[in-house]
């Protein structure tokens, strides 16, 4: 029996789907050589760790157990199961928000790493960064946040509204939630969103700057309110009314993010545009139906090649990736 045949039996065993004959074959194979038992135990450990590999928010990944574990076997086990390193996770939804059969895949290359300090208790999360570090975290509602150095964030998932208190600077990719808005409170004013990506900087009461990368937000300073959409920025100094301006190249204002990216239900065409603007990697999508796929993906330190590879795997597309050009096709 070939290794691939035995892999298939092991995968079915872990899911409880083996036949009596397959169970007998597995037991004979395990007892035939100590290496076989080591291989079985390794796959068993990976299967047991799947709760860490699959974010709990997405309970129906389209990858089969075979696909998931084979990815794990090809990866660095220490990265997969340790608490250090970068993170790359992705989910692709159909336009209507329901999981498409081949597009609901979840890929987690590593667990969120040691550059963040957080305390979570019953939906409350607190994150603090030192003057020399940045921090990334996925909040209980699925929102992904990147904190700049010398920043503090406290998040509470309430019954009717999700609220975060920020002092410093943070980039948010907010998980959409019907009827449950997301509010960021600062000493200078508030930002109200439903599902969007934006950058906010607040240093005591001296400055409140908001840059919207995608979606819409409402900024409140005292009695003054302004609405912002993609490609707009507002600034309020010393408690004054926010002033809105149009910025043609949003990502020039987000260079502090480095290689960090986060998309939430973003069309693949928009993901491609942003990767080109930020990393100089041109992405050509050769099928209109692929361009409409909505992508949710976050990465703390992966390059554009790895991000595109993850997207292609998730939507079951074929990719050719060069140094400056990538093509995506069915």
Shared domain for 123 and 231, answered yes or no, is yes
Burial of 162 (0-12, 13-18, 19+ CB in 10 A): buried
Write the CATH number for 60: 3.55.50.30
Torsion of CA 65, 330, 307, 247, to 10 degrees: -140
Shared domain for 78 and 127, answered yes or no, is no
Query: Of 204, 222, 254, which residue is a domain's last?
Result: 254
Shared domain for 134 and 231, answered yes or no, is yes
237-268 residues labelled b (16+ CB within 10 A) or e (exposed):
eeeeebeeeeeeebeeebeebeebbbbbbbbb
Average pLDDT, the chain: 76
Domain that holds residue 149: 118-254
Shared domain for 171 and 72, answered yes or no, is no
Shared domain for 167 and 239, answered yes or no, is yes
Write the CATH number for 192: 2.60.120.1440
For residue 253, give the 3-state DSSP assignment: helix
Shared domain for 293 and 269, answered yes or no, is yes
- Name the domain count of the chain: 3
| Per-residue CA distances from 51 to 9, 46, 111, 307, 329 (Å) | 22, 10, 11, 22, 31
Is the CB of residue 200 less than 8 Å from the CB of residue 173? no
What tens digit of pLDDT does each residue of 12-34 get?
Answer: 887 777 888 999 999 999 999 98
With cut-offs at 50, 70 and 90, classify the pLDDT of residue 98.
Answer: very low
Closest listed residue to residue 296, CA positions, set 112, 105, 85, 60: 105
Q: Which pTM does this prediction carry? A: 0.66
Which pLDDT score, from 0 to 100, does residue 47 have? 64
What are φ and ψ of residue 10, in 5° steps?
-60, -45
Query: Of 204, 228, 254, which residue is a domain's last?
Result: 254
SS (H, E, C) 4-72: HHHHHHHHHHHHCCCCHHHHHHHHHHHHHCHHHHHHHHHHHHHHHCHHHHCCCCCCCCCCCHHHHHHHH
Shared domain for 129 and 237, answered yes or no, is yes
Shared domain for 138 and 76, answered yes or no, is no
Task: Choose between 218 and 312: higher pLDDT.
Answer: 218
Shared domain for 213 and 92, answered yes or no, is no
Query: Of 254, 277, 300, which residue is a domain's last?
Result: 254
Q: What's the CA gap between 315 and 298, in Å, rounded?
A: 16
Closest listed residue to residue 90, CA positions, set 295, 268, 330: 295
Shared domain for 125 and 208, answered yes or no, is yes
Which pLDDT score, from 0 to 100, does residue 95 have? 34
What tens digit of pLDDT does each residue of 123-159 get?
Answer: 678 888 889 888 888 888 888 899 999 999 999 988 8
With cut-offs at 50, 70 and 90, classify the pLDDT of residue 307.
Answer: confident
Which pLDDT score, from 0 to 100, does residue 201 have? 96
SS (H, E, C) 74-115: HCCHHHHHCCCCCCEEEEEECCCCCCCCCCCCCEECCCCCCC
Q: What's the CA gap between 136 and 300, in Å, rounded?
A: 7
Shared domain for 241 and 172, answered yes or no, is yes
Which pLDDT score, from 0 to 100, does residue 125 have? 83
Closest listed residue to residue 261, CA positions, set 307, 322, 216: 307
Is the CB of residue 314 less than 8 Å from the CB of residue 92? yes
Task: Choose between 300 and 132: higher pLDDT.
Answer: 132
Shared domain for 265 and 222, answered yes or no, is no
For residue 113, give both structure tokens. 């790493």
Which pLDDT score, from 0 to 100, does residue 46 have? 62
């Amino acid at each position: 029996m070939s290794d691939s045949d035995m892999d298939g039996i092991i995968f079915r065993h872990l899911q409880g789907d083996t036949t009596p004959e397959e169970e007998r074959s597995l037991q004979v194979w395990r007892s035939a050589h100590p290496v076989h038992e080591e291989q079985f135990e390794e796959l068993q450990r990976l299967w047991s760790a799947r709760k860490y590999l699959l974010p709990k928010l997405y309970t129906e990944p389209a990858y089969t157990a075979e696909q998931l574990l084979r990815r794990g076997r090809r990866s660095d086990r220490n990265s997969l199961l340790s608490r250090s390193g970068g993170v790359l996770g992705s989910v692709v939804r159909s336009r209507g928000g329901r999981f498409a059969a081949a597009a609901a895949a979840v890929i987690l290359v590593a667990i969120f790493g040691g550059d963040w300090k957080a305390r979570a208790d019953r939906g409350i999360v607190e994150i603090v960064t030192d003057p020399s570090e940045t921090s990334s975290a996925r909040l209980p509602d699925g929102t992904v946040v990147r904190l700049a150095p010398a920043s503090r964030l406290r998040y509470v998932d309430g019954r009717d509204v999700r609220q975060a208190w920020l002092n410093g600077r943070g980039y948010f990719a907010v998980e959409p939630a019907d009827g449950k808005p997301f509010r960021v409170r600062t000493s200078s004013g508030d930002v109200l969103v439903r599902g969007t990506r934006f950058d906010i900087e607040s240093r005591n009461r001296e400055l409140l700057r908001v840059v919207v990368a995608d979606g819409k937000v409402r900024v409140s300073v005292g009695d003054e309110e302004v609405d912002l959409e993609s490609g707009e920025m507002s600034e309020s100094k010393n408690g004054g009314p926010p002033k809105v301006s149009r910025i043609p190249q949003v990502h020039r204002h987000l260079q502090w993010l480095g290689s960090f990216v986060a998309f939430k239900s973003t069309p693949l065409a928009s993901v491609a545009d942003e990767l080109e603007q930020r990393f100089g990697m041109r992405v050509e999508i050769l099928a209109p139906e692929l361009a409409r796929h909505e992508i949710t993906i976050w990465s703390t330190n992966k390059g554009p090649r790895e991000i595109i590879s993850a997207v292609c795997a998730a939507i079951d597309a074929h990719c050719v990736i060069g140094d400056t050009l990538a093509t995506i096709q069915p």
